[in-house]
Structure formats: structure tokens, C-alpha cells
Amino acid sequence: MSTSNNGKGLGKGGGRGRNNGGGFGIGGFCVCAKCGEKVPHQQGVKCTTLKCPKCGKTMIREELLKK
């Protein structure tokens, strides 16, 4: 019995890494889009889960503001 490899699989490295996958890595800042307050990003904590210490609005990753 013969098997046919048609090359339809993703294979190794077929995923989306780093920024294309949405992750920005360690470091950087979480920024309030309303008032501009910056806080250091904590590894493993999404900026969108944080509230601005000044005005209480949702924070976003600094890199997203630059797009």
C-alpha cells in the first residue's frame, strides 16, 4: 500500500509567531487611550484587563496605539 503526501499539512513552524499572533513579548507599557497614563507591562497580564489608575478606563498595549 502506498501513501501519498500532498503537502497539505502545516508542518513545523506553521503557526503565527510573536506580533502576527498578537503577543508583544515582555517589557513595554500599558497605556490609557483616554488620558495617556502609562504603566509598565507585566508579563502574563493583558493590558486590557487593567484599569487606568488615573481615570479608570481600560488600558491597551502601547504598540497598538502606534499602529
In the chain, how many domains are there? 1
Q: Which residue range forms the structural domain that includes residue 51?
A: 27-65
Give yes or no for residue 54 having a pLDDT over 50.
Answer: yes
Using left for φ > 0, alpha for ψ between -120 and 50, and beta otherwise, residue 25 falls in: left
pLDDT tens across 21-33, in order?
A: 456 767 899 999 9
Residues found in the chain: 67
Quick check: is 9 in a domain? no
Quick check: is 18 in a domain? no
pLDDT the model gives residue 66:
74
Give yes or no for residue 8 having a pLDDT over 80.
Answer: no
Quick check: is 45 in a domain? yes
> What distances in angstroms separate CA 42 from CA 31, 47, 61, one per listed residue?
12, 8, 11
pLDDT the model gives residue 24:
72
What is the rounded average pLDDT of the residues 45-49?
A: 95
